[in-house]
Structure 1
Amino acid sequence: MGLRVEILKVLPIIAVAGFFGLTAVHAGTTGKIAGVVEDAQTGDLLASASIVVLDTDMGTVSDPEGRFFILNVAPGTYTLKVTYIGYGPVSIANVRVSTDLTTDLKFELTSKAIQGEEVVIRAERPIIDKNATNAVHIIQGEDLEILPFRGVQNVLALQAGVVEDEGRLHIRGSRSDEIAYYVEGASVRNVVTGSSAVVLIDEAIEEVQLQSGGFNAEYGGANAGIILQDLRTGGNDWKATLSSETDNFAKKGEKFLDTYSYGRSNRVLTLDGPLTSNTRAFISTQRRVRDFQTTFWDGFEFTDLIDSGDRGGGVHWADSGPDTVDLKLDGGNIPHTGSKATDVNATLLFDFKPVTVQVTGLYSKSDQEYNFAPVANMLNEDRLAEAARTSGLINIKATHLLDPSMFYEVNVSLYNQDREVVDPNFGDNWWVYNDSVAVARANSSFTPYTSQGSDPRPYDLNGFPFNRPGNGTGYYLKEGDQYQGVSGSVTKQRKAHELKAGFDYQIWTSRRYVIGLSSIRKAIATTYPNLDEVYDRYYADEIKQGDILNEIIRAAEAAPDGQGDLDDLKALIRNTSRADFYG
């Protein structure tokens, strides 16, 4: 199945823009600093005062009314300094700038005749941000470092009005697919699942902003909330950090400090600094491992349980009579629920003054084990499904400061995600998942099939079903998502008002390929006997396991018309693209 979605949003500048305010449809990636400079004794406004952002090339002068604006400021913490002839300098440190918000400052200068040394003031975050027309929650990178858990989603779940349920966020009672996600202005919301399509490393995050209710029209496709995420960029000096966390303090099934170990570990390496005088780099890599899903129970053990045969298991009994089974499941540790992942977040910033270009790259590769019925499958762990997933995003953002009151920004994004769920014994050769010969060849300990394509009958132990070794997983899945997008905006500051206009164009292509396998092999054996001959060639080692599907398609296409069900199969093959047929 294929899905292609094109999204185009454009908001033109119209005559009423000055009255209603003009909103861009391109997600913002920078903030703004605004303020006023005045005489501390008289309250007179001071025109032409010099305002600079220390350790940057940003700055401006106050207008005739003592006001000033600094546009296109990346999220972060800064120190501003104001100087004026005849007055002592004043600095305000710890000034926090956030995406799409205005940070207001007030500088009160004292005459040099009164003031001796420079005055340094430490800014404090306001209790209420009067520049935000909606509920805004801001989580800084420093906040993530001190919290006793990892993951942006876990932090967002702590915010007022946000609930996490089964791994999905809900804002103000909304559905989980009504949230829009952005990274550096690029949309990363998967249009199929509605969730975030990328993985961010805590140490790579500069700021996360959650907006709920009444957000600007620039954020389309969301009814509940907006999550804006900005990454760190390299500093002026090289530095590296290494962190490692683990809970591996107890053996499997045993307790340490009255709790189980789930084999969790997390290692993060960051490196950032200048490459040249106008180029800075930041890279963070993360290795995540979890041996067992976090489950709170104490396990159990039973010995000498007898299969009653009430679920058909008698067909598998030996001449000695009913099967006798021992069951043991360790406390706290559910087998085959582990995962491993490697993540990379990186930014590369080119400052060509007045043009800046930032390249952002996100990559993740993960392997996941599934065990949806740990009790029923405790004797059949070798055939439980496993998944592999890779995802990557490249975003190029260019910003051009035309003059102190006007700039424009352009974003180009490319995204790709692939995921496959397989039986670990056969990989993507789904046509042999429940073939009796292939299963027997895969593992001699698997229970032999009594008929082609029919899974072994389960044990019946005291009335409860338990799958026998070799019972099939039931399905094969392959999916892929691709996304190309371009967006842009123009921002103009006119005295105390800001005008913005922009566009956002996205193309999503999504493919989902699922094969239900409960009876596919049996159907071929009973309905298409001429196709079943292909499997006979596999049994005789004339063809390889991976060649079976090609040979089935070739045999079906070569068969004469007028054979009922086989004609339907031929029509399916002829009307389906090769890529869709193979997934």
Structure 2
Amino acid sequence: MRLKFLIPLLFLLPAMLISQTGKISGKVYNEATKEPIPGANVILEGTRLGSAADVNGNYIILNIPPGKYDVVVSAVGYVKTTIKNVIVNADKTTFLDVALKEEVIGLPEVVVQAERPLIDISQTSSRAMITSDDISALPVANFQEALRISPSNYSGYIRGGRRYETKFLIEGVDVSDKYYEAFSANYGGNLYTTYHGLSLTFRENSNVAEVGVGAIEEISVNSGASSAELSQATGGVVNITLKEGRGRISGKAYVRYASKLPHKGPDLYFGLLPDGSTAADKYFGEKRALEAKGDPASLAKARLYTWTPGKYWYGNKPTAEFEASLGGGLFKDMGFFADVRFYETYGRFPNEFNRRLDITGKLTYNLTPSIKLTAIGLVNDQGFYFGWKNRVFNENYKFFLEGVPKYTKGSFALSGKLTHALSSRTFYELQVSFLTSPTEAGFVDSNGDGKVEVNEDDGDFIKFATPEEIRKYISKTDKTKFFTTTPRNESESEASFPSSGPYPLARPGAYYEYQRLSQFNVKGDIKSQVTNHHFVSAGFDLKFYKFTHLRRYTVVGRFDVEDYIVKPYELGFYLQDKIEYSGIIVNVGLRADAFNAGAKEIDNYFAPYDVKTEQVQLGGTNEVLTVNRYILRRNTNVKTKWLIGPRLGISHPISDKASMYYSFSRSMQVPPFASLYADAYSEMHGTLPNVWLVDQEPLKSTIYEMGIQYVISNYFGIDLSAYYKTIENYVPLAYGVTPRPGVAITYFIRFNGGYADSRGIELTLNSRALPVANLFKLSGKLTYAYSYIKNLVVSPDALRGQNVTSFSTLGGDSAKYGGKLPFENAKYFAGYEMNVVSNLSSSFTGYDRPHRISLSLFFDFPAPFKGVPVDFRLSTFTTAASGFLYPLILADPRSRKLGEGPWNIRTDMRLEAGYSLGKVRIAPYLEIKNLFDRENIIGYDRTTDEGQLLWEQKKIPTGPLGLTVFRDGTSAFDIAREVYFGISINF
């Protein structure tokens, strides 16, 4: 049913896009006399795009989709000249001066091969460009891996910004995860992972849609001060441009396969623990002890020890990937590009499974010489549309993985753009888009027998929506029912180890979740090359969201339901002028952004709820669960938040081989919806005391940057930049409130405040293909980044009450503040600056790696035998990062000293042999991740003091329980060596 609306509409609607085009400008002149050639025609071959030179020989071609073009220049009395493979990037000016020879009888057409410039003299702020050529040569499987080539990025964190502070755009359509539930896990934990085993690692990426690498024309990573046209992002902006079909029909396909995926660290069941035993030893020892007791209760519990070696697959199943793309001109004025990617893996850990299907389509149509239509369709499915279920491993349930909820995800986007050229120098764009991203999680009972088995994936999730479903599956007293009302608190269905939280053997908590975030965008822009020196643009951007949330679950003796819909919106307006002279280029603009949370705030924080008593019929004999529900009173409208942000970028080309640039911007970003709405409409009781403030201030960043670019030689160029950034409202804070005397509820209301200070330097060395002893050509890129980020640490206990964070009705605070809370006081909290570290496992972090290095090398070998159309390419990609920072528990806390983990170093390799037959190229390849099988530690066990001591004293990251995977779902180690075999076909 879910597919019915997808296929017919895939290419029909228009979309919200930001600047996805570039321009070419330059001068046409006489090669001999250097005089300008007025009226010379400059045409992009195979397109309708072109321009004529003015009286001074100057020309400008606007609104060019990124890619490679053959530029044809002609004039009466001159030899036609073609410059091949001229590269155009989004939101950039490509400067191309052309010298024409005077026509002489018998003189052939001149053909010149363009070279990729080593520096970009129009660059006014830091930006890394990753082209389709780079992606096809690198040993990467998706665009997230390709982002590692950017010096600003580490594991999705850009210049101190957390993952959700990075905006992801595909053809300008914002596919960022606005909800980003992993945020709530990183700050204060998430109850549902603890009690229900639903790991948030499958929600860790901050984008809800992806495209196959074969569909990507270029990726732009904007880490510096952005132009006014780019909307809210306090981290960075990753802008992906898709390929556009032009010319003859061509395509590419590849398959990639690995027989298994091992992992670093001890075996989860048979790895040796610090006491010399294994988890399996403890498990079977307890079972034997229960059987030896012989009483009915012990024997009944012993029968729950159902795990045996091999019960769950464990890293011994294959991973496979297939991708195919096809594109070109359908008719004279219509082009298309389509890409399909299928990926399936059984993971590295027990019972893992992830399958995804990505479908991408782009259609362009020149309705008239001045009107162009562009349509985009994206479908990403992880089971929501086509019906399969994905699984995650959870350490808490490793002996009973039947108790871990399965999940499905999906996203669907339609976009389109009308571009109307009013003249050769002025055009406007109107865009509309729609994106929806649903998620569903829970349990499946395919055969309807009331039990959930590991391999039951067919059918719908159990929704616990009717009294019949609840009675069938849930009971506190009837132990034959699959679900309990007290998950992780029922000793007769749990092992006795470990003491920090016994492993469940049966009877998990009931759980069902459905979330959907839909966004509708409308955008308009008008852009004009007013003079040869001023390119002016202005526009608006309207985004309307609808977030639907439904969650039903049992926890601590309750059956709870969360069900709400919120409708926030964003507004954006900008004005910008790009001023270009031979000695200076200036981007100056102003942007206004607004956000309204579309929800209501608590009226009185000291009387925040109404009490409602309900009875739920469960599956035991005459079993009725009485629940006192504390329903939050939310009746106060929140105000719209505004920010007026100036943007300035300056480039000073010193020569064609050197330039300096400076930039400044002021931006804001909406907090993730998880920090606004998570638990906002749920109930309050003694074990669920956390509520987020809906009326929070947005994050606000101020960025200063300066840099220099220099061409060292014909083969090498460098880009060196330094930046300073502050981020306001960066730190999660909380007030504790005791509303009513005699009621055992003290709840915590969380909100943001404080600040972060991020600064660093970044160096990039680019190399063109360099011939080496006539044996091969060597090219590559070297990057280095040094950075640190510190944030305000507020500690009320250490500061002797200077920061008041506890309030109560009995203490007179309700009367003092009139039922409100003094959130504005947080601006004046005393504290101290400290390097940012994660509250949970270090694998969540990326801002705490002071030194980061990457090196990509490409070795191109020509055909070894004359007349045999075989070529070879070897590419390597090495990354190195200093270790994560962590708090020292043995050091004097007054020193605020942090420890540093070991460096992480990883080399990936790809070796390809290509055989060409006409226009077809077949290339088998070998790809190896972590070539040298290095053990890279990315986190350690922080759940117990013993685990922290083992790490601090002995550098054992797995803790007393030998945890390769921690209970928050993150890992102690980066990947082990992985070997893939594949074959690609280009035609």
Relative to the length of structure 2, the TM-score reads 0.44
Q: Which residue of the partner structure matches residue 517 of structure 1?
A: 554
**Mapping for residues 116-135 of structure 1, pairs under 5 Å:** 116-135=107-126
- Say whether 1:180 aligns with 2:157: no
Can you give the 5+ residue segments of structure 2 that lack an aligned partner in the other structure?
1-15, 181-204, 268-313, 384-388, 446-451, 453-460, 562-610, 635-680, 683-987
Give the Cα–Cα distance (whole angstroms) in 1 for the partners of residues 346 and 337 of structure 2: 30
Moved more, 448-457 or 177-186: 448-457
- Name 1:287's counterpart in structure 2: 342
**Alignment of structure 1 residues 141-540 onto 2, 5 Å:** 141-164=132-155, 169-193=156-180, 195-248=206-259, 263-292=318-347, 294=348, 334-353=349-368, 354-367=370-383, 369-371=390-392, 373-374=394-395, 376-425=396-445, 427-430=461-464, 438=473, 455=490, 456-460=492-496, 467-473=503-509, 475-493=511-529, 494-520=531-557, 531-533=615-617, 535=619
Return the letter of the residue paired with 1:470.
Answer: A
The whole-number CA distance in structure 1 between the counterparts of 2:29 and 2:538 is 33
Superposition RMSD on alpha carbons, in Å? 3.9
Take 1:448 and 1:416, find their aligned partners in 2: how far apart are those partners? 32
CA pair 114-226 structure 1, distance change in 2 beyond 3 A: farther
The change in CA–CA distance for 1:261 and 1:76 in structure 2 (over 3 A counts) is farther
Cα separation, 1, equivalents of 2:174 and 2:108: 48
The structural deviation recorded for 1:471 is 3.2
Cα deviation code 1:465-509 (max 9, x no counterpart): 653432315643321101000111111112232111111111112
Contact 1:458-1:465 at 8 Å conserved across structures: no
Corresponding residue of 1:318? none
Q: Which amino acid aligns with 2:175?
A: V
Distance in 2 between residues matched to 1:198 and 1:536, nearest whole Å: 44
1:181-230: CA deviations, max 9, x gaps? 22222222233329223111111111111112121011121123222111
2:319 partner letter: R
User: Aligned to 2:22, which of 16, 20, 31?
Assistant: 31
- Judged with a 3 Å threshold, the aligned counterparts in structure 2 of structure 1 residues 565 and 90 are, in CA distance, closer, same or farther, namely closer
Query: Once the 2 structures are TM-superposed, how far is the Cα of residue 419 of structure 1 from its aligned partner?
Result: 0.4
Question: Contact (CA 8 Å) 2:323, 2:341: kept in 1 or not?
Answer: yes
- SS of match in other structure, 1:200: coil
Q: Is the 8 A contact 1:369 1:387 kept in 2?
A: yes
CA contact (8 A) 2:260 2:319 kept: no
Partner of 2:54: 63
Question: Which string of whole-angstrom CA distances, capped at 9 and with x for unpartnered residues, describes residues 334-358 of structure 1?
Answer: 1122111111111121111221111
**Which range moves more in the overlay, 273-282 or 492-501?**
273-282
Provide the C-alpha distance between the structure 1 equivalents of 2:485 and 2:171, rounded to a whole number of angstroms.
Answer: 58
For residues 192 and 43 of structure 1, what CA distance do their matches in structure 2 show? 59
Q: 1:463 Cα deviation (Å)?
A: 6.1
Distance 1:114 1:99 in 2: 41
- Letter aligned with residue 498 of structure 1: F
Q: Could you tell me how far 1:103 is from its partner in structure 2? A: 0.6
Q: Which amino acid counterpart does residue 387 of structure 1 have in structure 2?
A: Y
Kindly state the Cα deviation for residue 288 of structure 1 after the two structures are TM-superposed: 1.0
Q: Which amino acid aligns with 1:264?
A: T
With over 3 angstroms needed to count, the CA separation of the structure-2 counterparts of 1:385 and 1:536, relative to structure 1, is closer
Residues 39 and 45 in structure 1, CA contact (< 8 A), matched pair in contact too: yes
Q: RCO (CA 8 Å, sep 6+): is it higher in 1 or 2?
A: 1
Question: Structure 2 vs 1, CA of residues 210 and 520 (structure 1 numbering), >3 Å: closer, same or farther?
Answer: same
Instruction: String of CA shifts for 1:73-94, please: whole Å, max 9, x gaps.
Output: 1111001111122222221111
Letter in 2 for 1:195: S
Residue 112 to residue 523, structure 1, CA distance change in 2 (3 Å)? closer
Q: Displacement of 1:156 after TM fit?
A: 1.1
Checking the alignment, whether the CA contact within 8 Å between 2:46 and 2:246 is kept in structure 1 is no
The Cα shift of 1:277 comes to 3.6
| Matched residue, 1:322 | none
Are the counterparts in 1 of residues 223 and 235 from structure 2 also a CA contact under 8 Å? yes
Shift of 1:400: 0.9
CA distance in 2, matches of 1:215, 1:279: 33
How many residue pairs end up in the alignment?
475
Q: In 2 relative to 1, CA 80–520 (structure 1 residues): closer, same or farther, beyond 3 Å? A: same
Pairwise CA distance, 1:569 = 7.9
Deviation at 1:536, TM superposition (A): 6.5
Q: 1:464 to 1:33 in 2, by over 3 A?
A: same
Cα distance in structure 2, aligned partners of 1:349 and 1:41:
41
Does the CA-based 8 Å contact 1:283-1:346 persist in structure 2? yes
SS of the aligned residue for 1:340 comes to strand
Which segment is superposed worse, 177-186 or 74-83?
177-186
- Relative to the length of structure 1, the TM-score reads 0.72
Q: Deviations over 1:130-167 (max 9, x none)?
A: 11201121111222122112111111122112111xxx
2: CA distance, partners of 1:134 / 1:571 = 47
* AA in 1 matched with 2:443: D
* Contact 1:447/1:469 (8 A) holds in 2: no
Counting aligned pairs with the same residue, the percent is 21
Report the secondary structure of 2:364's partner residue: strand
In 2, distance between residues paired with 1:189 and 1:410? Answer: 22
* CA–CA distance in structure 2, aligned partners of residues 436 and 336 of structure 1: 29
Kindly state the Cα deviation for residue 450 of structure 1 after the two structures are TM-superposed.
Answer: 12
1:538–1:281 CA distance, 2 compared to 1 (3 A): farther
Change (3 A) 1:121 1:101: same
C-alpha distance in 1 between matches for 2:101 and 2:112? 14
Check 1:66–1:231 CA distance in 2 against 1; reply closer, same or farther (3 A cut): same
Deviations, residues 519-562 of structure 1 (Å, cap 9, x unaligned): 345899xx9999455756999xxxxxxxxxxxx9xxx9xxxxxx
Q: Provide closer, same or farther for how the CA distance between residues 465 and 175 of structure 1 changes in structure 2, counting only shifts above 3 A.
A: closer
Q: What letter matches 2:379 in structure 1?
A: Y
Tell me how far 1:448 sits from its aligned partner.
9.8
- Structure 1 distance, partners of 2:433, 2:47, is 28
Of 124, 127, 133, 1:136 maps to 127
